Amino acid sequence: MAREKLTSVSKAYQQRSISARLEAFFLDSVGLVVSNEHLKQVARDPITGNEPENWHQRVSELRTDRGYTILTQRDDPSLKNGEYCLESTDRRETAKVRRAINKKIKAALLELSPACVYPGCNLREGERDPVGGGTVKLQVDHKTAHNHDDGGLNVLGNYQLLCGRHNVTKKNLWDDQTGKLNIKAILQFIPHSDKVVAKEWLSNYFSENSSERV
């Protein structure tokens, strides 16, 4: 499907946070294809003009924490690498809010294994992310569900380190507290070749004994 592309950013965004500026810009550009350059321009500090290197993570958080369906090439093959499109102003149910974690936990984890544990990643604190760009800042993630009142919040074994990109990925795909999967987000996230496999599997699933399916 051909989508109209935004030619230029038509106004200055003065919101205090990067996320707020990007959110306002996307809402002003619903249905339009915007580029990395547009987002970098909007993300710049309106006072200093400095460009934050991890602006792309704020975009990911708009999907995860705010529930917006922001499409990329992974979701729509008509989009090019570095292009984005906010499909509509509708927002999905978001992942749960995560509690703040004692800073000593991260320090201890960095001593044990100072790298992202997401399968195949292994990025370390301070390295450059070859996919999302920017400097890697490892984040502490809950490995399993826990009870906030059981006194186990600061047990080291309950946590692991993930790079910002993969922490957002995990939050967007499943809720480790309830086990609930975000099926639509999973299908959007996987590459086109895997989408084809999913389509074929679902087609077979619903065609065989379809009258017995609930």
Least confident range of 54-58, 96-100, 192-196: 96-100
Binned at pLDDT 50, 70 and 90, residue 144 comes out as: low
Angle, alpha carbons 77-80-86 (nearest 5°): 80
For residue 98, the model assigns a pLDDT of 53
* 43-53 residue pLDDT tens: 999 999 988 87
Residue with tokens 């290197």: 53
Under 8 Å between Cβ of 23 and 39: no
Give the CA dihedral 187, 190, 193, 198, nearest 10 degrees: -30
Binned at pLDDT 50, 70 and 90, residue 154 comes out as: low
Under 8 Å between Cβ of 143 and 158: yes
For residue 17, the model assigns a pLDDT of 92
Q: Is the pTM of this model over 0.75?
A: no
Q: How are the residues of the chain apportioned to helix, strand and coil, as percentages rounded to the nearest 5?
A: 35, 15, 50
Mean pLDDT in residue range 70-90: 89
Q: Which two tokens stand for residue 92?
A: 């999905």
Strand order of the β-sheet with 33-35 is 33-35, 83-91, 68-71
Q: Which helix (H) or strand (E) holds 115?
A: none
* Beta bridge mates, 91: 68
Q: Which helix (H) or strand (E) holds 173?
A: helix 164-173
Mean pLDDT in residue range 137-142: 84
